[in-house]
Structure 1
Amino acid sequence: MCPEKADLFSTVSLSGSTITRRIEEMGDNLHQHLQNSSKKLSYFSLALDESNDVRDSAQLLICIRGMNDNFEVTEELAALQSIKGTTTGEDIYKRVCQTMNGLELDWAKLASVTIDDAPSMVGSKKGVLARINQEMDRHNHSHPIAIHCLIHQQALCSKSLKWDSVMKIVVSCVNFISAHALNHRQFQEFLSELNASYEDVLYYTEVRWLSRGGVLKRFYDLLQQITAFMLSKNKEVPELNDAEWKWHLAFLTDATEILNSFNVQLQGKGKLICDMQSHVKAFEVKLGLLIKQVKEENFCHLPTTQNLLAEKPSVAFPNKTCVDSLEKLQKEFQFRFKELRLHEQDIQLFRNPFSINIEIVDPIYQMELAELQNCDSLKDAFRSSSVTNFYASLPSETYPNLTNHALKLATIFGSTYVCEQTFSRMKHLKSPTKSRLTDAHLHHLLQLAVTNMEPDIDYLISQKQAHSSH
């Protein structure tokens, strides 16, 4: 009807209620897809994280990653659970149970649970992990592997490198320049006149810990200009001309850059626990190497410190202070990542079954490993494909235990990165201008925003009944 008006009809906006209804239907359709996919999973893992939205409502995100027998991965938002009252371990556990029941998940297939260090999560008696383990005991299932978010652990380790003597001065100077509009304009003009490498300083916020690296690097590069500007404003900061303080600033800049690079390696969706563990082990080796080199005042991996050394400062490098800081950081890493070492053998078996010593593994894998490690064609296949693709091609009838082990380990979330990323989307969706979104609508919108699945539009259309004219 009226084909010549087709373009005009396409510009007509749908009503708010129609859009709402369609979002609800697509959200329900995606939930049905996820429920159907979940029934086919051999194993699955959960990542849990809780945060407040713009109206201070507690929102619990539950993400699921599972594998079917063909090593096809399902990684989705399982639920957004709104908690109206307290957020104790018992409250969160009840929401986990609701999600498990809603998706018809089998507790026996739960391989791992990844959380942060909140007391409600890790409490020894009433924490979520403790309640889940009690549930598994009731059904005679083995406990799931507990993983404390590796990115969060890394951030806590980084906080041991406080260096308040440096950060207080840096933050104070940056705030003096940026917090007052006149100072800020004059400083930018000052940099422009000097043809400086940068046009401005950067803000630092403790919540976004990665910002410290950029702030320190920019501050060090503009140190001469900042010192001159502060003097022009009669703002006395004696540390800016203190030679030892400059050493501390240069060293902290380099150390923070190294920590930031490590943090970025741990980020990303779909990362396997074996790859994340490799990054952790590599960083610990790097840390040991840095300690040895700093003791010898070899700064080949610390470019800012190396540049300062080339300027031949009047004060010697504060060797003991810097080495002590690195050793403290090393001890913190050894403490924070000790639980990862408990599973090191299982992760190594998953990462490379050809390199592990048969004699140290569980006896159920030994005969299969003896067969596998002496098969040249499988060795070649392992070298030329990804870990999951290799296990997918492995004959399960010949290697049932190794395949089963791989299915479990491949589902593990090494961090709650997927939850943090989803929370970022949630804050865009439920912003101050959309704060009256209901919990159900927020869940539907969030699910549509982050899903890897496609709603079945053809099916949804087929369910609609056309209204005849009267």
Structure 2
Amino acid sequence: ECRVFNPQWTRDYFFVQLKEKAVCLVCQETVAVFKEYNLRRHYESRHKDKYASRASFRVAQLIASCGKSFTEGEFVKKCLNVVVEEVCPEKKDVFNAVSLLASTITRRVEEIGGNVYAQLQQKTKDFQFFSLALDESTDVQDTAELLIFIRGVNANFEMCEELAALQSLKGTTTGEDIFDKVCQTMQQLGLDWAKLASITTDGAPSMVGASRGLIGRMNREMEERGLTALLQVHCLIHQQALCCKVLKWDSVMKVVVSCINFIRANGLKHRQFQQFLSELESAYGDVLYHTEIRWLSRGKVLRRFYELLPEVNAFLQSKGKTVPELIDPAWKWHLAFLTDVTELLNGLNLQLQGKGKLICDMYSHIKGFEVKLRLVLEQVEKHNFTHLPATQSFSAEKPSVVFPGEKCVEALEMMKAEFGVRFRELHVHAKEIRLFQNPFVADIDEAQPSYQFELAELQNCDVLKDAFKPNSLIDFYAALPNDTYPNIKPDAGPQFTLMNTQYIGASLWNLQRTQELFCCDKKGDPWSRLLHIFL
């Protein structure tokens, strides 16, 4: 009896029939006798708990990588049970074995994060070059937190970008305090100072001070070790955000913010405004709050306000609030112009964002924006608004007041000058960046003597020319023969390690401030491990 293989056993116990034996699909072991008891015993003793544990780990990883609260696991479990009851009620016991309690998710996150960190420790041993990026901020409990990121490349040009450490700063946050945390992190990861190519900071005095700041302290350490000084990089996104500060235009922003606050500060007014827009079948359902610390906030707020300007003015008048600027043509010129310029800046900011960006790509975006800025400046001087849609739209209305060209041109010239100052360090290294980005167009005569013969060989190699793809630089340099290009190939390594800190740091600070993740002790291991998974 029971000598016939039942196909249902494949679904229940992961066995299939192979000739005259039942073979386990998981471990490839065989069971000679076709008895359900034998197959069930094998599955329950060898694999049932294993699969439940594996499922629990995968859910924990998903919760952590999405920045959800650890208690979400219990909600996921309830959802799974509902699905099982409807789809496959006979599997209910199998799904019940998957533990998704908050305490279980916390342990899983610790283990996964620990494993990620252990892998990072192994990868750092093979780094040929690496760079550090630092971002310091204060959390919701007023504790100074230092995020340290690392990006490195090995001999095969395999790139790794991870969170190296989250360090809490007790008491003062001087350059010496930050330096101690950097040294501690490098020691924990077993990093070699000789392979440190650059360091990226947010430009704070405690970071960039030449004598008492982190950079000064790092350079002294490098000098004591007989190494060359570090390449210091000020986060490009932060630089771009500082350039935006030139366009304060309080005469516009104060009115816009005041009107928005009047509408949204009171719940009843806010609901009435939304209903008002709905009745008018407006393209938008609300105005946006302005948040100074958000990079893209001002551009989005101004664009929305400009699009809803007639509706906002009508609503405010219905509430007995008169804002003369909303019907003043001179002020509306300024609003339209500022809306267009901030949108241009937002476009550059978005181009600079993203994990894994190379310095040559970011520099190309900055150069491109500077060209756009020069073009817009020349056109605005001639009252040509081709690339300024809001300004062009208002111009088409033929307002009674002429375009305030002098003030707008002055604002563009100030911003152009600010970009030139903020990014002058990049322009100094323009030739090196261009050589790294595309060695086939580099001028051999102007290249360093150690590169000239190698560039001559490279630029006349048809095979490498055909293989070159600008969007796959790391693969191109990895394929270069070491013996033919002993200088160009290794010197490309530090270029791959340069990175932005502000974009990644902002993601983590937003996670910390917006998610209820403090069911675990934020000063303990789960929080640190969570960040390793989240990135």
- Cα drift, residue 392 of structure 1: 1.0
- Describe the shift of the 1:313–1:253 C-alpha distance in structure 2 as closer, same or farther (beyond 3 A): same
- Asked whether the equivalents of residues 430 and 437 of structure 1 are also in contact (C-alpha less than 8 Å), the reply is no
Alignment of 1:33-72 (within 5 A): 33-72=119-158
Equivalent residue in structure 1 for 2:242, among 147, 151, 156: 156
Q: 3-state SS of the aligned residue for 2:137?
A: strand
- Asked whether the equivalents of residues 520 and 527 of structure 2 are also in contact (C-alpha less than 8 Å), the reply is no
Counterpart in the other structure of 1:193: 279
- Asked whether the equivalents of residues 521 and 527 of structure 2 are also in contact (C-alpha less than 8 Å), the reply is no
- Describe the shift of the 1:16–1:378 C-alpha distance in structure 2 as closer, same or farther (beyond 3 A): closer
* CA RMSD after TM alignment: 2.0
Q: 3-state SS of the aligned residue for 1:268?
A: coil
In structure 2, how many angstroms separate the alpha carbons of the residues matched to 1:123 and 1:384?
37
Equivalent residue in structure 1 for 2:310, among 224, 234, 237: 224
Structure 2: stretches of 5+ with no match in the other structure: 1-40, 49-89
- Asked whether the equivalents of residues 520 and 526 of structure 2 are also in contact (C-alpha less than 8 Å), the reply is no
Amino-acid identity (%): 56
- Matched to 1:277, the amino acid is Y
Query: Which shows bigger deviation, 422-431 or 267-276?
Result: 422-431
Deviations 1:287-331 (A, max 9, x none): 000000000011110011111111111111111011000001101
Q: Is 2:95 aligned against 1:95?
A: no
- Matched to 1:298, the amino acid is N
- Asked whether the equivalents of residues 114 and 416 of structure 1 are also in contact (C-alpha less than 8 Å), the reply is no
- Matched to 2:325, the amino acid is E
- Cα drift, residue 429 of structure 1: 5.8
Q: Is 2:371 aligned against 1:285?
A: yes
Query: Which shows bigger deviation, 136-145 or 326-335?
Result: 136-145
Query: Which shows bigger deviation, 248-257 or 421-430?
Result: 421-430
Deviations 1:87-119 (A, max 9, x none): 111111101001101110000101111110111
In structure 1, how many angstroms separate the alpha carbons of the residues matched to 2:348 and 2:432?
23
In structure 2, how many angstroms separate the alpha carbons of the residues matched to 1:150 and 1:57?
26
- Cα drift, residue 53 of structure 1: 1.9
- Asked whether the equivalents of residues 176 and 214 of structure 2 are also in contact (C-alpha less than 8 Å), the reply is yes
Counterpart in the other structure of 1:447: 532
Q: 3-state SS of the aligned residue for 2:132?
A: strand
- Cα drift, residue 184 of structure 1: 1.1
Q: Is 2:473 aligned against 1:387?
A: yes
Equivalent residue in structure 2 for 1:406, among 465, 476, 492: 492
- Cα drift, residue 280 of structure 1: 0.5
Counterpart in the other structure of 2:252: 166
Counterpart in the other structure of 2:84: none
- Cα drift, residue 18 of structure 1: 5.4
Query: Which shows bigger deviation, 55-64 or 265-274?
Result: 55-64
Q: How high is the TM-score relative to the length of structure 1?
A: 0.91
Counterpart in the other structure of 1:86: 172
Counterpart in the other structure of 1:365: 451
- Asked whether the equivalents of residues 53 and 430 of structure 1 are also in contact (C-alpha less than 8 Å), the reply is no
- Describe the shift of the 1:435–1:317 C-alpha distance in structure 2 as closer, same or farther (beyond 3 A): farther
Higher RCO structure (Cα 8 Å, ≥6 apart): 1
In structure 2, how many angstroms separate the alpha carbons of the residues matched to 1:6 and 1:231?
64
- Describe the shift of the 1:181–1:430 C-alpha distance in structure 2 as closer, same or farther (beyond 3 A): closer
- Asked whether the equivalents of residues 276 and 414 of structure 1 are also in contact (C-alpha less than 8 Å), the reply is no
Equivalent residue in structure 1 for 2:395, among 292, 309, 317: 309
Equivalent residue in structure 2 for 1:255, among 334, 341, 357: 341
Alignment length (residue pairs)? 449
Q: Is 2:86 aligned against 1:8?
A: no
- Describe the shift of the 1:430–1:36 C-alpha distance in structure 2 as closer, same or farther (beyond 3 A): farther
Q: 3-state SS of the aligned residue for 2:445?
A: helix
- Asked whether the equivalents of residues 134 and 148 of structure 2 are also in contact (C-alpha less than 8 Å), the reply is yes
Counterpart in the other structure of 2:225: 139
In structure 1, how many angstroms separate the alpha carbons of the residues matched to 2:504 and 2:273?
40
In structure 1, how many angstroms separate the alpha carbons of the residues matched to 2:477 and 2:347?
31
Counterpart in the other structure of 2:519: 434
- Asked whether the equivalents of residues 271 and 413 of structure 1 are also in contact (C-alpha less than 8 Å), the reply is yes
- Cα drift, residue 418 of structure 1: 2.1
Deviations 1:341-398 (A, max 9, x none): 1222211111111112122222211111121122222222214761111111111110
In structure 2, how many angstroms separate the alpha carbons of the residues matched to 1:397 and 1:261?
43
- Cα drift, residue 50 of structure 1: 1.0
